[in-house]
Amino acid sequence: MWRDHLTEIIVFSLLFLLVSAMGFVAARWRRPKDMAHLDEWGLGGRSFGGWITWFLVGGDLYTAYTFVAVPALMFGAGAAGFFAVPYTIVVYPLVFLVLIRLWSVSHRHGFVTPADFVRTRFDSPVLALLIAITGIVATMPYIALQLVGIEAVLKTMGVTGESTVARHLPIIIAFAILAAYTYQSGLRAPALIAFVKDSLIYIVILVAVIYLPYKLGGWGDIFDAADAKFQASPSPNDGILLNGNNQLQYVTLAFGSALALFLYPHSITGVLASRNRDVIKRNMSALPAYSLLLGLIALLGYMAIAAGVKPLPGASAGSVDNNTIVPLLFDKQFPDWFAGVAYAAIGIGALVPAAIMSIAAANLFTRNIYKEYLKRDASPAQEANVSKITSLVVKVGAVACIVFLDPQFSIDLQLIGGVIILQTLPAVALGLYTRWFHRTALIAGWVAGMGLGMWMLYQVASPTKKHFGGSAFPLEKFGFDTPKTIYVGIVAVLVNLAVAALLTLILRAAKAPEGVDGTTPDDYFADEGDPRVTPGVERDADSAREPVA
């Protein structure tokens, strides 16, 4: 019952109201001359310095779902769940090498989305449209998942009801507030709120990793308790260490997730909003502080085992919702008021990424669908306006996903999201280095990778379901005689690359038209203070040609 959790609910609500107020005030923070421009609303004026970028990108990549789902995975499967640590170590050097070039070329040409870049680089509106749609489709379930994070907290506090509407009312209200201040303040809102969110999370986790082991008998006991649990379970693939069969999956999942992470539109939005190249480079050294945090959060899963936490029942009868173990652990071990702070950290932790993701998806729609196909001569003010409205639509869609569909469906979609966003790697990430690939070959590679990825995900079974049971694909389905598994995304993107490379050679030989590269090698090193080729949207003044549809 919710009455038993009154202190927690009051603390949670107060902190929630505080950040909502901050979200509205954010419109005045670092106030621009003219908010009616996509650079201002959607990228915070491209002016964020080191600290803001650190909080913004950190708040963006480490979502509420991460905080809830990673320990849940550790709780259920053990060592395999720790992939989040290598994954977030590997991602920063990659950004250091790759996304910095995207920052430069976007700064010069006024690109707002990765699809803008692809459009100019490969002179192909079709390829850009595919990239944009991939980004939007991959982001939508990610936003919905943030709600799963809040819901796990609300469920633990007993804020739940019998009817569909009563159960979801708190979330609908929370998202309505979020939608309102994102509409008004744009990227400035999550940037400002991220300060509160991350400070709360750091406090909660520091307290948790010092106080909980002390209460539970020390780290050694915690690991031994986890070991005992996995020894007793009948499943062969759990344990506090990896075994011979899931190492390949572990490594490919960590690497594939790292590649996917920086291709997601919302991470690119965070990077493009920074002031100069130095800010990004310095941040790549400072952001791993969050990886340490994530590693410690992951271990909360083992603490829950040692503390004897039993997860709350899931949506369908007989199932359990492992996502509730962290909130339950806090409820059981912390005093009420501090559990309230911890819940607020998770709840607010959902709002920051949800805001950035909806902005990123809205920018993709505005720049690469609305402006490209619906209104070619849209003014910057119209662009900003369309983005604001789209961000509302995106959030309504995310809430609808949670209210009308089984949350499990969003989790499946998010799994698919990681695999499909990886298929933009050849055009976006390799495109930053080389224009060797032919635009038509890139489209074909995308189709091949997408098709194969979907088929493989469909084939993966889990103990509870026949299809879409995870991302670990058993190699025996390819005809290999082995019990080893591999991450679907890696296989799909390799096939994508192979198809793109092969077709490029063929199209070259056939002398198929390649279009004109709108960028110059020099663009990839431009830094702050560098004159823009054209401020805003129209570009390629020197090549003097009309964009072809």
* Contact in structure between 166 and 24 (CB atoms under 8 Å): no
Query: Closest CB to other proteins among 17 and 241?
Result: 241
> Is 463 among the residues that bind other proteins (CB under 8 A)?
no
> Is 218 among the residues that bind other proteins (CB under 8 A)?
yes
> Is 494 among the residues that bind other proteins (CB under 8 A)?
no
Least Å from the CB of residue 9 to other proteins? 35
Q: Of these, 97, 166, 396, 461, which contacts other proteins (CB under 8 A)?
A: 97
Query: Closest CB to other proteins among 50 and 469?
Result: 50
Q: How far is 421 from 439, CA to CA, in rounded Å?
A: 18
Q: How far is 297 from 359, CA to CA, in rounded Å?
A: 27
Q: Which of 53, 37, 103, 102 is nearest to 535 (CA)?
A: 37
Q: Of these, 435, 451, 459, 512, which contacts other proteins (CB under 8 A)?
A: 435
* Contact in structure between 209 and 218 (CB atoms under 8 Å): no
3-class secondary structure, 291? helix
> Is 211 among the residues that bind other proteins (CB under 8 A)?
no
> Is 229 among the residues that bind other proteins (CB under 8 A)?
no
Interface size with other proteins, residues (CB under 8 A): 52
> Is 96 among the residues that bind other proteins (CB under 8 A)?
yes
Least Å from the CB of residue 146 to other proteins? 25
Residues near 169 by Cβ (< 8 Å), separated by ≥ 6?
161
Helix axes 99-109, 265-272, angle to 10 degrees: 60
Write 119-122 long-range contacts (CB < 8 A, 24+).
119/368, 119/372, 120/517, 120/518, 120/519, 120/539, 120/540, 121/431, 121/435, 121/517, 121/518, 121/519, 122/427, 122/431, 122/435, 122/437, 122/439, 122/442, 122/515, 122/517
Query: Closest CB to other proteins among 336 and 517?
Result: 517
For residue 305, give the H/E element and its range: helix 288-306
> Is 501 among the residues that bind other proteins (CB under 8 A)?
no
3-class secondary structure, 262? coil
* Contact in structure between 11 and 337 (CB atoms under 8 Å): yes
> Is 79 among the residues that bind other proteins (CB under 8 A)?
yes
> Is 434 among the residues that bind other proteins (CB under 8 A)?
yes
What mask, x for binding other proteins by CB under 8 A, covers residues 298 to 317?
-x------------------
Least Å from the CB of residue 93 to other proteins? 4
End-to-end Cα, the chain, rounded Å: 59
> Is 240 among the residues that bind other proteins (CB under 8 A)?
yes
Least Å from the CB of residue 214 to other proteins? 12
* C-alpha distances in Å from residue 321, one per residue of 73, 83, 459: 11, 21, 24
Query: Closest CB to other proteins among 123 and 321?
Result: 123
> Is 51 among the residues that bind other proteins (CB under 8 A)?
no
* Contact in structure between 473 and 487 (CB atoms under 8 Å): yes
* Contact in structure between 230 and 239 (CB atoms under 8 Å): yes
Least Å from the CB of residue 108 to other proteins? 11
Q: How far is 69 from 64, CA to CA, in rounded Å?
A: 8
Query: Closest CB to other proteins among 36 and 90?
Result: 90
Least Å from the CB of residue 79 to other proteins? 6
What mask, x for binding other proteins by CB under 8 A, covers residues 4 to 43?
----------------------------------------
Least Å from the CB of residue 456 to other proteins? 21
Q: How far is 531 from 91, CA to CA, in rounded Å?
A: 30
Q: Which of 356, 358, 326, 360 is nearest to 343 (CA)?
A: 326
Q: Of these, 162, 481, 542, 546, which contacts other proteins (CB under 8 A)?
A: 542
Query: Closest CB to other proteins among 247 and 408?
Result: 247
> Taking the CB of residue 2, how many other CB atoms lie within 10 A of it?
13
Q: Of these, 10, 14, 165, 292, which contacts other proteins (CB under 8 A)?
A: 292
Q: Which stretch binds other proteins (CB under 8 A): 137-145, 169-177, 237-245, 463-471?
A: 237-245
3-class secondary structure, 487? strand
Binding site for other proteins (CB under 8 A): 79, 82, 85-86, 89-90, 92-94, 96-97, 100-101, 218-223, 240-242, 247, 250-251, 254-255, 278, 281-282, 284-285, 288, 291-292, 295, 299, 433-436, 514, 516-517, 520-522, 524-525, 527, 542-543
